[in-house]
Amino acid sequence: MTERVIVTVGIEFYGQQPARDLLERAGLECIRRSGSPGWPDDETREYITGMQGILAGAEFLNASTMDHTNDMRVIARNGVGFDRVDLDYCTERGIIVTNTPGSMADAVADLTFALLLAAVRHVVAGNENVKAGGVYDVPIGEDLASLTLGLVGCGHIGAETVRRARAFKMPVLVEDPWVDPQRIRDLGAKPVDRSRLLAEADVISLHLPLTDESANFVDAGFLSAMKPGSWLLNTARGGLVDEDALIDALTSGHLAGAGLDCQATEPPEGRTKDLVALENVVALPHCASKTATARKAMSIAAAQSIVEVLGGQEPEFVVNRDVLKKLDLQPRT
């Protein structure tokens, strides 16, 4: 029987047809369906029925959406984040979950600096002034070389962000206990603990995954310890930030501003809507990876993981590595 894969991301719309070709060359039946973060669980349950693999977008994949199917073997996230996938449940069921680290690193690092420049040089305000025919001016900004950048997290995206910061002549501090300090030094940055990061960085940029442990990582205590007049950047996940606390820090003047590619509620509702409406916030619609190059690389990497798992081989990027103990897959060489 031909194994079936459901694709819920827009492969055709970003020059990503090679990913679909890869699946079909492996003899897999590729079924296309566009997804969105707002899909109800009953629709998700319906479209994954009878599937052995899913090239997954933003849908929730957990017990409530998957308990009816015994066929699923691999969930390949088209991206780095996996906060919408219940890893414990998948591990228990023997379902491999993969992601695509590195494939979007350049795109996200680029957008991190787009947000940084927009925030510290008041790009949005200047654009609006010119278009409105108003005052031909903007508030005074800052040279990037005069600012110290602090990163929380130094994986693929964090490392590329450091490289860009060094090109802008910015000193860089990094907090990441999981990365060898020498690797951080080799990038041209300085490994530090959190207290020093918060006290010395003029800009703090988040580059860590959203998990149960990291939810509201940036809380009132974190924000109050940040340097007065500093900026916060988030191109990772909205759930990392306590938005009530961030609103307080921005409206009180403790923080100069924020650049947010992601929010707790997308599209914005409630307090998220209040946050993105602030004049000192630059907000984007979770589009950091939305370049043709990144999306193509992401989808090909995800498709390759599916081909490997359904072909009996261990894939390269397994998120729930404990599941491998339950499966008889050919190890990677």
Map out the domains of the chain with their CATH numbers: 4-103+291-326 (3.40.50.720), 105-283 (3.40.50.720)
Q: Are strands 203-206 and 281-283 parallel, antiparallel or unpaired?
A: unpaired
The string of DSSP letters for 241-283 reads B-HHHHHHHHHTTSEEEEEES--SSSS--HHHHHHHTSTTEEE
Q: Structure tokens of 264?
A: 């707790």
For residues 130 and 140, give the distance between their C-alpha atoms in angstroms, rounded to a whole number. 16
- pLDDT of 157 reads 97
Residue 321 bears catalytic tag: no
Q: Structure tokens of 216?
A: 């509201």
Q: Structure tokens of 269?
A: 């509702």
- pLDDT of 150 reads 99
One of 237, 243, 295, 308 is an active-site residue; which one? Answer: 237
For residues 118 and 200, give the distance between their C-alpha atoms in angstroms, rounded to a whole number. 22
Residues 119-138 as b/e (b if ≥16 CB within 10 A, e otherwise) read bbbbbebbeeeeeeeeeeeb
Phi-psi category of residue 122: left, alpha or beta, with phi > 0 → left and psi -120 to 50 → alpha: left
Residues 164-175 as b/e (b if ≥16 CB within 10 A, e otherwise) read bbeeeebbbbbb
Q: pTM (2 decimals)?
A: 0.91
Amino acid at 38: G
One of 84, 266, 271, 314 is an active-site residue; which one? Answer: 266
Residue 77 bears catalytic tag: no
Q: Which residue do the tokens 């409206």 mark?
A: 251
- pLDDT of 274 reads 98
- pLDDT of 242 reads 99
Residue 164 bears catalytic tag: no
- pLDDT of 33 reads 75
- Is residue 300 within 8 Å of residue 16, measured between CB atoms? yes
| Mean pLDDT, each 10-residue run in order, the chain (333 residues) | 84 68 94 66 86 91 91 94 94 97 96 99 94 88 98 98 99 98 98 98 97 96 99 98 99 99 95 98 96 92 97 96 95 84
One of 20, 77, 286, 295 is an active-site residue; which one? Answer: 286
- pLDDT of 39 reads 64
